[in-house]
Chains A and B, each alone.
Chain A
């Protein structure tokens, strides 16, 4: 490999939601910054497999109850000061709503309904409601059985009441990571994909970062490597922590009007029961708790899937397993140094570690600002750019436009009327637009356009999308990958496979 050397002021390691939000934040200033991402696109690590909830509001209080040990009155316990991550989350969640306009990405506010099974649960949610009032939270209400029925008629009639937080919001996290990164790129930041950091050499006034895609020389380094933040910290001998956590299996199922709210049980240790309506007509059923044995292990198990389906039926008895679309594993990570909160520190001059503890999605925009402040404190000159353009171009989804607008677009470019993904109704031109705006892999196309997201999971459109991408990029279809390095889709043209070796399997 040719060892090109790229010089930059700030290198951000990791293009998950944190790194992507950060590179966009940095692009507001006259700072030379680049993002190093090991996958073929941004947001394909832990970000891709998180649930898309922005949390905040009563979710802090409910998650606190799990750790309550009766050493102080319950309400007093709930009203303890916010942690860093909780503060950032409350700020970050509302920020997503204004960003939705400028970044042109989807967000929905379905609200969160905590369901109570028995009297004990009812007492607990009443206390949480009480505490939320003391904290000045709005949009929180207690519901009885009838209230639940009116709100979500298909919820199991066994639940006797609930607590509703109207503020809870959901996004498609990978799409947002892509959006942040694209807007940063528009504003002059550099995004290096398929770029895995191998080691970091600490020099007197800079760092030399060796990657699978050349050398980078940076004055400042931000470690936003998520699951691998400890490995990166190790490279500069600053790892007095480890990243560990739970493997969380989840399901995706078609949402045929089952619920439009986030449903969850009352908090209990190791029971992350959640049903989350996504922004694109499906439900995520989350999640199991399995100890994380290996960071690359994203496997799901039969037992996990069965367990999740059982929960799902407890919430929504009428749902049919037939509508199951997929199963995947995410991670609930935490750092061992400060397990309850984010680890935000600068162990060395010019080196910042942002090791996020779950959930990391909601706080990302606020955390990004916090990191820039830290960089400025360490001497990075942050002069605002007058030409910063907060608006990210994204071709509209044709199918969502009113008929007259659809037809205007199709008349100008007939390829907008040629639907290649039938499940999500995505047109040929939308795929071409996505490639023109930076998508290079099948997965990036999927998250930018939704092609391949639906019930057939790409069975119909994959061959068509590959062909269009190859045309647009002027490469052979053999070069198109699912998600960067090594994830090739096609192996050769037909009629050109070499002679077969001997059959070696005996079963």
Chain B
């Protein structure tokens, strides 16, 4: 099976044709440097993203607290995480970096606060 993956390491944005056997990269074409295949490898074996979003608070002047995942979350779990976060209002005070939801959906990833909320 072949898949197109765009390299995002530099602004060149090489469109790579990646030959796959299951989740194993067999061959890569269309890249212009060695960073390309490396990126392709990662995108195939663990397509994860940092999730950045907000969570409701009990503070009228600051109705939302920005939060992020402290590690990458599998791409196909992002929407499920959003649903989980929607049901969790947070109370003040919160410190920058404090975990707001630990081990979200059992993924081993914490959602942490992106700012202090007094």
Contacts and interface: CB of A to CB of B under 8 A. Distances in A.
Interface of A: 494-496
B104 interface: no
Interface string B43-79: 0000000000010100000001000000000000000
| 3 cross-chain pairs, A with B, having the tightest CB-CB distances, nearest first | A495-B86, A495-B56, A494-B54
A494 B54 CA distance: 9
A494 B85 CA distance: 12
Interface string B84-101: 011000000000000000
A496 B63 CA distance: 14
A495 B54 CA distance: 9
Interface of B: 54, 56, 64, 85-86
Q: Mostly helix, strand, loop or mixed at chain B's interface?
A: strand
Q: Mostly helix, strand, loop or mixed at chain A's interface?
A: loop
A494 B82 CA distance: 11
B83 to A, nearest CB: 9
Contacts of A495: 56, 85-86
Contacts of B85: 495
Contacts of A496: 86
A466 to B, nearest CB: 13
A475 B85 CA distance: 27
Contacts of B86: 495-496
A79 B85 CA distance: 78
6 contacts: A494-B54, A494-B64, A495-B56, A495-B85, A495-B86, A496-B86
A501 B19 CA distance: 33
A310 B64 CA distance: 48
A470 to B, nearest CB: 12
Nearest to A500: B79
A495 B86 CA distance: 5
A502 to B, nearest CB: 15
B84 to A, nearest CB: 11
Nearest to A496: B86
A7 B85 CA distance: 54
Contacts of B64: 494
Nearest to B86: A495
A365 to B, nearest CB: 47
A132 B86 CA distance: 73
A496 B85 CA distance: 11
Contacts of A494: 54, 64
Nearest to B89: A495
Nearest to B79: A500
A496 B54 CA distance: 13
Contacts of B56: 495
